[in-house]
Amino acid sequence: MAHGVRATTRRRAGGWWPYAVPAALVVVTLYVLPLAINGGLAFTDWNSFHSGIAFNGLDNLVTLQDQASLVNQVRLTLVYAVTASALGNAFALVLALALERPTRSNHLFRAVFFIPVLLSPLAAGYVWSGLLDPSGPVNQVISLAVPGFVEPWLGNSDLAIFLVAAVDAWKWSGFFTLIYIAGLTTVPVELKEAAVAMGAGRWQVFRYVKLPFLAPAITFNVTVTVIGAMSAFDIVMATTRGGPGSATRVLNVLTLDQFGNGLYGLASATSLVVTALVIVTAIPLVTVLRRREIEG
């Protein structure tokens, strides 16, 4: 009997395998395998100047710290990720609350704010390097009020990382707005009506009625923006290419620079740092946000 049941289960599982095998093969050979190899290459001296590849322990991380101040670039990448996520989510949430009702004008606004999502991040970067150019429209408008005003925005090493992250937020917030709007539709109408009938103000309705139902959307949006921004690359390449100096040289740009110089081991090590960074931020982030969902 027990044997029979197990055989049936096995047959059933076996019956499903042909459907999953192609996808599993793609995952294993084209994703997991390269990731695993990267974990090895990161600790080798592989480069384009000699043919052999040998393990060199932690030399790559030491070299990256000495020559490219790795710790500082990790910090920059985190500043970028937090800025892009905070700005993008704050704007998207406000926009979602303003566009919550499915009226015709609101549909139009949603579509307009979605346009940047369709632009390639590279193109979005060029749009904003034009807008923020020293002679560009932003300075033109400001100098109407402040004659002679010239700020090189993206050339300012203190501001550049925040501005580039803001471009990231601009590019994606239309998408996150739609996710928040979908979250708002899960709020039961009776609950809102009851709260209003009991004399709750706008803020209270938001805080105590809508916000708890928005928790899954917040989890999704915050996780996706933070993790996505860890791999920031295109927008930086189009706006500052890592500069001025190395003020916006986020980790993926550093990877390209090492790769371009033929230092493949160093490029792998940098890429491994990105992977590690995603793991150590994503896991606690998802855990904390999920826990809040249950409480909320």
Partner 1 sequence: MNRAVRQSRTLEACRMAVLATAAIVLVGLPLWMVVINSFKGQAEAAELSLGLPRAIEAAANYGEVFHQSRFIAGFMSSLLVTMASVGALLAVGAPAAWAFARSRSRVMRLAYSVAIVGVILPPAVVPMVFLMRLVGIQGSQLALILFTLGLRVSLVVFLMTGFARALPRELEEAAAVDGASRLRTFVQVVLPMMSPVVRTVFVIVTVLTWNDFYGPLFLLQGDNATLPVGLYRLSSGIAQATAWNYVFAHVVLVSLPLILLYAFVQRRIVEGVTAGAIRG
266 to 285, contacts with partner 1 by CB under 8 A? 267-268, 271, 274-275, 278-279, 282
Q: Which is nearer to partner 1, 12 or 158 (CB)?
A: 12
Q: Which is nearer to partner 1, 115 or 158 (CB)?
A: 115
7 to 36, contacts with partner 1 by CB under 8 A? 9, 12-13, 15-20, 22-24, 26-35
Residue 181 in the binding site for partner 1 (CB under 8 A): yes
Q: Which is nearer to partner 1, 71 or 276 (CB)?
A: 276
For 117, the enclosing helix (H) or strand (E) is helix 104-118
Contact, 88 vs 169, CB < 8 A?
yes
46 to 85, contacts with partner 1 by CB under 8 A? none
Binding characters for partner 1, 224-263, by CB under 8 A (x = yes): ---x--xx-xx--xx--x----------x--xx--x----
Main-chain phi, psi angles of 198, to 5 degrees: -85, 5
Q: How far apart are CA 233 and CA 243, in angstroms?
A: 13
Residue 220 in the binding site for partner 1 (CB under 8 A): yes
For 211, half-sphere exposure in the C-beta direction (CA atoms, 13 angstrom radius) is 12
- Counting residues that bind partner 1 (by CB under 8 A) gives 86
What is the smallest separation between the CB atom of 291 and partner 1, expressed in angstroms? 17
Provide the β-strand partners of residue 132. Answer: none
- Helix %, strand %, coil % of the chain (to 5): 75, 0, 20
Q: Which is nearer to partner 1, 102 or 158 (CB)?
A: 102
Main-chain phi, psi angles of 244, to 5 degrees: -65, 140
109 to 128, contacts with partner 1 by CB under 8 A? 109-116, 118-123, 126-128
Residue 150 in the binding site for partner 1 (CB under 8 A): no
Helices (H), ranges, 240-263? 251-260
Residue 87 in the binding site for partner 1 (CB under 8 A): no
Q: How far apart are CA 101 and CA 97, in angstroms?
A: 9
